[in-house]
Amino acid sequence: MAREASKGHKAAVTVLAWGVALLIFFPILWTFLISFKTEGEAINSHPSFLFFEWTLENYETVNQRSDYLAHFWNSVVISLGSTVLGLIIAVPAAWSMAFVPGKRTKDLLMWMLSTKMLPAVGVLVPIYLLARDAGLLDTKTGLVIVLTMVNLPIIVWMLYTYFKEIPGEILEAARMDGATLSSEILYVLTPMAVPGIASTLLLNVILAWNESFWTLNLTAASAAPLTAFIASYSSPEGLFYAKLSAASTMAIAPIMILGWFSQKQLVRGLTFGAVK
């Protein structure tokens, strides 16, 4: 850059940016710190930032409660299950729209997007009743199905924007060389499509992990993922800050780490390719 960024300017920007960033991050940091405090220390009216007796007992307690691990496992099954199921349905569709576009492909894509605009509350009652009648209420299967459908438009769109960037000429060349449709998919397309599929998988696991409308409304106890389990702490009785913090830290840590790897895909996936 021609503009001379003076050391002083850079230092000022650095201080300001770090200050703002730490402020925004603070609630997460604070939860993390409280998770290492004793319950008494956690509600101390003169809270200590770093100089307290660090303890791991909250994590031990939370992990000993078998129900925490069960809900954690529910989150894993539901978020991974719905994403993988969605990918199985969406990959062929996105492939065909990107490489064999028809006259109505664009309309079809817009229509898929429009299903995402339907507010969840508008179909809450029928989905609840259908799930109840099918015996899928408070089951992992039920949530996998619902979350697959909720995120399917995003999955198709993301895959489509990735697949579209694969040059079509490569396919033509493969066809010229006599490649069949299946070998075309297996040897030419798959290697080029894997990064896009991986990004889509990552973003959708994050979205499904944090989904909080259907997971709260369609589960009671046995299939509740972490979103619903932690929401159940909202009742005042038996509220333990330190243990709540430990449970929260464990609930958000894995997904935050995944999220940091997926910053770019996040923009692309959530804006349906409108901002890259």
Touching another protein, residues 51-80 (CB under 8 A): none
Question: Judged by CB, which is closer to another protein: 22, or 194?
Answer: 22
- By CB under 8 A, is residue 143 in contact with another protein? no
Q: Can you tell me which of 130, 174, 179, 192 binds another protein, judged by CB under 8 A? A: 130
Stretch that binds another protein, among 57-65, 103-111, 136-144, 192-200 (CB under 8 A): 103-111
Q: Which of residues 2-31 bind another protein (CB under 8 A)?
A: 2-3, 5, 9-10, 13-14, 16-18, 20-22, 24-25, 27-28, 30-31
- Residue that the structure tokens 């209420």 belong to: 137
**In 23-37, which positions are buried (b, 16+ CB within 10 angstroms) versus exposed (e)?**
eeeeeeeebbbbbbb
* Distance from the first to the final alpha carbon of the chain: 23
Q: Can you tell me which of 112, 147, 154, 201 binds another protein, judged by CB under 8 A? A: 112
Containing H/E element for 162? helix 140-163
Kindly provide the residue ranges of all beta strands, DSSP E only, lying in 181-229, ordered along the sequence: none
Q: Which of residues 184-213 bind another protein (CB under 8 A)?
A: 206, 209-210, 212-213
Q: Can you tell me which of 56, 69, 123, 198 binds another protein, judged by CB under 8 A? A: 123
Minimum distance between the CB of residue 250 and another protein, rounded to whole angstroms? 10
Question: Judged by CB, which is closer to another protein: 83, or 245?
Answer: 245
Q: Kindly calculate the radius of gyration of the chain based on its CA atoms and give it in whole angstroms.
A: 23
- By CB under 8 A, is residue 124 in contact with another protein? yes
Cα–Cα distance, 111 to 184 (Å, whole number): 29
Minimum distance between the CB of residue 149 and another protein, rounded to whole angstroms? 5
Stretch that binds another protein, among 52-60, 63-71, 87-95, 133-141 (CB under 8 A): 87-95
From residue 54, how far is each of 37, 42, 49 by CA, in Å? 6, 11, 11
Q: Can you tell me which of 51, 103, 125, 238 binds another protein, judged by CB under 8 A? A: 125
Cα–Cα distance, 42 to 48 (Å, whole number): 9
The Cα angle at residue 148 between residues 147 and 151, in degrees rounded to 5? 80
Question: Judged by CB, which is closer to another protein: 66, or 257?
Answer: 257
Q: Can you tell me which of 76, 93, 174, 179 binds another protein, judged by CB under 8 A? A: 93
Minimum distance between the CB of residue 15 and another protein, rounded to whole angstroms? 9
Cα–Cα distance, 241 to 237 (Å, whole number): 12
Minimum distance between the CB of residue 68 and another protein, rounded to whole angstroms? 14
- By CB under 8 A, is residue 245 in contact with another protein? yes
Cα–Cα distance, 273 to 101 (Å, whole number): 18
Cα–Cα distance, 190 to 169 (Å, whole number): 15
